Structure 1
Amino acid sequence: VELQTCRYHGHSMSDPGIQEVCSRRDPIFVLKEHMLSNSMASAEEFKGTDVEIREEVEDAAQFATLDPELLLEELCNHVFYNNPPLDIRGTHPWAKLKSIS
């Protein structure tokens, strides 16, 4: 599935009309409006789904925030499910990484 959407935040505070453009182009918003207008789902169902999604996102964000930072040697582990490419942007994925700080 390919969906075209927009940024919810502009490059600067002076970017005009971001919310208006998003309300017309956001595929999730458009699908939601289509489903509501064709009685495919109720507003209450969407409210329940929104609550579940917000809780899941909050849990994931909290987990990511509290999870310890990976060691440099582990950064390339578990990146690919199967048959990793031999070359990633000119560097071998299992090459010893060195901190530049």
Structure 2
Amino acid sequence: AAGISQGKGGSMHMFSTEHKFYGGHGIVGAQVSLGAGLAFGHKYANDGGVCLAYFGDGASNQGQVYESFNMAELWKLPIIFVIENNQYAMGTSVNRASSEDQLYRRGESFRIPGIQVDGMDVLAVRGAAEVALDWVRSGKGPVLLEMKTYRYRGHSMSDPAKYRSRDEVQSVRDNSDPIEGCKAYLAEMGVSEDALKVIEKEIRKIVNESADFAETSPEPDLSELYTDVLVEQY
């Protein structure tokens, strides 16, 4: 499966053709149309591939999203539309911004089935993904997954997140944190706390080394300025 996602808060965007991750995009909702294109490529090549296009609750109101829904269903493209509903988009509650705030229903007028999922539950997400992949791989066309999730911090460094209370954020941390929930699942399966600490240590090492590499890498040479850029002359 290939993936494509929405960039958040002016952040830098990862891109890796090796891992079939086709980047994050700062234009809200633009990656949904690109994802439909990737899915069309899979169908055209008949290679059995599936595209997962991720976007947020705010992006779900973009017109190009619905154009992509329509095309994907008409052509039965192998794509899973994943709405990461963190409930506040850039800073406005989904209940105030969307007339239909049950976002898993957004595909209904295009005959695209939708599933609402607890995005903070690792096993629920895994189960929904398996169901969605089975649907798409059987040639039935696209499916929409609404992942009900939550972000603990503001949309960006300049967002003080005053549109919600600290108690609300802390309540989610205490009761629904996906990492702590996964730890509980693993503990029930007999995984020891020491084994979890080893995993956590390995992950921290990967993250720190990746951050160091990004921060210490030199700027590209000026000769690279026009690499892969189409320049039209009139």
TM-score computed with the length of structure 2 as normaliser? 0.28
Alignment check: 8 A CA contact 1:5 1:26 kept: no
2:176 matches 1:12: no
Q: Distance in 1 between matches of 2:191 and 2:148?
A: 23
2:226 aligned to 51, 54, 73, which one? Answer: 73
Q: Distance in 2 between matches of 1:69 and 1:13?
A: 33
Residue 194 of structure 2 is aligned to residue 59 of structure 1: no
Separation in structure 1 between the aligned mates of residue 176 and residue 189 of structure 2, nearest angstrom: 21
- 1:44 to 2:194 alignment: yes
**C-alpha distance in 2 between matches for 1:46 and 1:31:** 11
Bigger Cα Rg: 1
Query: Partners of 1:4 and 1:72 in 2: how far apart?
Result: 40
Query: Contact 1:35 / 1:41 at 8 angstroms: preserved in 2?
Result: yes
Change beyond 3 A, Cα 1:4–1:60: farther
In structure 1, the partner of 2:230 is 95
Q: CA deviation at 1:32?
A: 1.0
Gaps of 5+ in 2: 1-125, 130-146
Aligned pairs (5 A) from 1:19-34? 19-34=170-185
Percent identity of paired positions between Structure 1 and Structure 2? 29
Rounded Cα–Cα distance in structure 1 between residues aligned with 2:170 and 2:226: 42
Amino acid at match of 2:200: D
Partner Cα separation in structure 1 for residue 177 and residue 150 of structure 2: 7
Counterpart-to-counterpart distance in 2, 1:27 and 1:72: 41
Tell me the number of residue pairs that the alignment of Structure 1 and Structure 2 aligns: 77
Distance apart, 1:29 and its partner CA: 2.0
SS of residue paired to 1:7 = coil
Shift of 1:24: 2.4
Distance (whole Å) between structure 2 residues aligned to residue 35 and residue 59 of structure 1: 27
Which shifted more, 40-49 or 55-64? 40-49
**Greater strand share, 1 or 2?**
2
Over residues 68-88 of structure 1, what are the superposed CA-to-partner deviations in whole Å (9 max), with x where a residue is unaligned? 2344334xx5xxxxxxxxxxx
**Over the residues paired in the alignment, what is the CA RMSD in angstroms?**
2.6
CA deviations on 1:47-78 (whole Å, 9 max, x unpaired) are: 1111111111000000011112344334xx5x
Unaligned segments of structure 1, at least 5 residues: 78-93, 97-101
Task: Give 4+ residue runs of structure 1 displaced > 3 Å after superposition.
Answer: 1-5
